[in-house]
Amino acid sequence: MKERLRHRKRKPPAVGESESTGKVGQQRPVGDKHPEPLQPDYLEAFEAPKAVVRQAPPPPPPAAPKIEVEMQPESPAMPPAPASEAIGHAPQKKPKGVVVLAIGLPGSGKTTWFRRRGVTPLSSDLLRSVLFDDVEEQRYQGLVFSTLRQLLRARLVARMPWNYVDATNLSPRERRQWIHMARGLGYEVHAVFFDVPLEVCLERNHRRDRVVPEDVMRRMAAKLRPPKFEEGFAKIVVVKVKRKDGEGGESASDAG
Q: Which phi and psi (to 5°) does residue 46 adopt?
A: -95, 0
Q: Return the pLDDT at 155.
A: 96
pLDDT for the residue numbered 246: 47
pTM (whole model) above 0.95: no
Give φ, ψ of 254 to 5 degrees. Answer: -65, 150
User: Under a CB-based contact definition with an 8 Å cutoff, are residues 160 and 97 in contact?
Assistant: yes
- Tell me the DSSP string of 104-149: --TTSSHHHHHHHTT---EEHHHHHHHHHS-TT--TTHHHHHHHHH
Q: Sign of the CA dihedral 209, 119, 227, 232?
A: positive
Q: Which amino acid, residue 251?
A: S
pLDDT score recorded for residue 244 = 62
What Rg do the C-alpha atoms of the chain give, in angstroms? 40
Contact 189, 183 (CB under 8 A): yes
pLDDT in tens, the chain (256 residues): 555 555 555 555 554 444 444 444 555 555 555 556 555 554 555 555 555 566 666 666 666 676 777 766 555 445 445 544 555 444 445 789 999 999 999 999 999 999 999 999 999 888 888 888 887 777 888 898 899 999 999 999 999 999 999 999 999 999 999 999 999 999 999 999 999 999 999 999 999 888 899 999 999 999 999 999 999 999 999 999 876 644 443 333 333 2
The strand pairing partners of 66, in sequence order, are 254
What is the per-residue burial (b if ≥16 Cβ within 10 Å, else e) of 157-176? eeeeebbbbbbbbbeeebbe
Tell me the C-alpha distance between 4 and 29, whole Å: 30
Domains, the chain, with CATH or none = 96-242 (3.40.50.300)
Is-contact 137 117, C-beta < 8 A? no
Amino acid 72: pLDDT:
67
Phi, psi of 82 (to 5 degrees): -60, 145
The whole-angstrom separation of Cα 125 and Cα 118 is: 17
